[in-house]
């Protein structure tokens, strides 16, 4: 029996117009947007459909917006009767994955990402940060370069996205120094358009308050297996999942490890559930050419139709 994993995107996948087709097509999608707007006290539909992009991209707005579209896409797939075995989400997307696994309710998902966005925005204003993608070096090499520069300032690995795509995060000068060293070793280094040093100790001032909210949320044992960012592994224990989410904000996203875990489980169908193609693109880089898997995106009617036709 073929196994399916739902992958949920996070920051960087947003676009003006995201979710609009499903909103127009399905009453239950409009209800999800209504719930989000009531919970976070924000015009989520307007932000998603009309932007402007500068406003949508602000992390305080973006986190509820992307999450709402993720959960809308999930609801459409569920309505179509698509079965899935595993869930994983990249950074912000992990909250959507927890909802898909029935660990947390939709309303609590919106509460958490709204608070997370507010706190991250606050910390990014307090502490100027930068993030660079390093392409072409394995994690061991990047770890060594980071360790070399760390005595001079705050810098660390934020995301291990694929074998040779690693994002570093921290104060602008140390991040630049690691990138310069990586360039000398033949890597390509790309500054990312972000407003803060996500997954670094520069935003650790948000941890205590976010963890206080997490501690009050009801976490259930997962109904579907969920692969966690902090460990790159699954857990069946609600308290362990909560503990991982309390570390997630400032810990590296072990996406490469998470995808490895999904391959170990012989997943044959990967579906990016939400806007953009970031995770589908990473899957194509990570999956070996001889690994028997298909990758899909589902965020609009055309993509849904294509997916349903190919899986019929």
Residue position matching structure tokens 């606050």: 122
Give the whole-angstrom CA distance, residue 255 versus residue 252: 9
135 burial (CB, 10 Å; 0-12 / 13-18 / 19+) is middle
Catalytic annotation, pick one of 90, 121, 132, 199: 199
Does the annotation count 156 as an active-site position? Answer: no
| DSSP-assigned states of every residue in 142-157 | HHHHHHHHGGGS-EEE
281 burial (CB, 10 Å; 0-12 / 13-18 / 19+) is middle
DSSP 283: H
Which run of H or of E encompasses 268?
strand 267-273
Does the annotation count 160 as an active-site position? Answer: no
- Give the distance, in angstroms, between the CA of residue 107 and the centroid of all CA atoms in the same chain: 18
Orientation of helix 93-100 relative to helix 106-126, angle to 10°: 170
Nearest to 157 by CA among 254, 243, 227, 64: 254
Catalytic annotation, pick one of 13, 91, 171, 195: 91
Buried b (16+ CB within 10 A) or exposed e, 268-277: ebbbbbbbbb
| DSSP-assigned states of every residue in 94-109 | HHHHHHHTTSS-HHHH
184 burial (CB, 10 Å; 0-12 / 13-18 / 19+) is exposed
Give the whole-angstrom CA distance, residue 282 versus residue 166: 12
**Main-chain phi, psi angles of 89, to 5 degrees:** -135, 145
**What residues are labeled active site?**
91, 199
């Amino acid at each position: 029996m073929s196994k399916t994993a739902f992958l949920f995107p996070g920051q960087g996948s947003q676009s003006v117009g995201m979710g609009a087709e499903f909103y127009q097509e399905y009453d239950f999608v409009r209800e999800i947007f209504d719930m989000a707007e009531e919970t976070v006290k924000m015009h989520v539909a307007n932000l998603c459909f009309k932007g402007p992009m500068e406003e949508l991209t602000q992390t305080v707005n973006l986190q509820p917006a992307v999450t709402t579209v993720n959960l809308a896409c999930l609801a459409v797939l569920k309505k179509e009767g698509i079965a899935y075995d595993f869930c994983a989400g990249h950074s912000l997307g992990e909250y959507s994955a927890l909802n898909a696994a029935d660990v947390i309710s939709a309303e609590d998902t919106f509460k958490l990402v709204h608070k997370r966005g507010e706190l991250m925005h606050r910390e990014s204003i307090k502490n100027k940060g930068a993030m660079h993608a390093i392409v072409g070096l394995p994690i061991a090499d990047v770890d060594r370069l980071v360790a070399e520069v760390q005595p001079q300032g705050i810098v660390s690995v934020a995301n291990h996205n694929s074998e040779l795509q690693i994002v570093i995060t921290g104060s602008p000068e140390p991040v630049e120094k690691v990138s310069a060293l990586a360039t000398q070793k033949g890597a390509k280094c790309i500054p990312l358009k972000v407003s803060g040093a996500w997954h670094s100790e520069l935003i650790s001032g948000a941890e205590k308050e976010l963890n206080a909210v997490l501690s009050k949320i009801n976490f259930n044992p997962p109904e579907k297996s969920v692969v966690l960012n902090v460990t790159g592994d699954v857990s069946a224990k609600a308290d362990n999942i909560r503990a991982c989410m309390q570390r997630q904000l400032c810990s590296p996203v072990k996406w490469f490890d998470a995808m490895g875990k999904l391959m170990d489980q012989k997943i044959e169908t990967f579906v990016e559930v939400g806007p953009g193609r970031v995770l589908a693109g990473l899957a194509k880089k990570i999956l070996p050419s001889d690994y028997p898997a298909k990758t899909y995106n589902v965020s609009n009617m055309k993509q849904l139709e294509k997916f349903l036709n190919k899986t019929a």
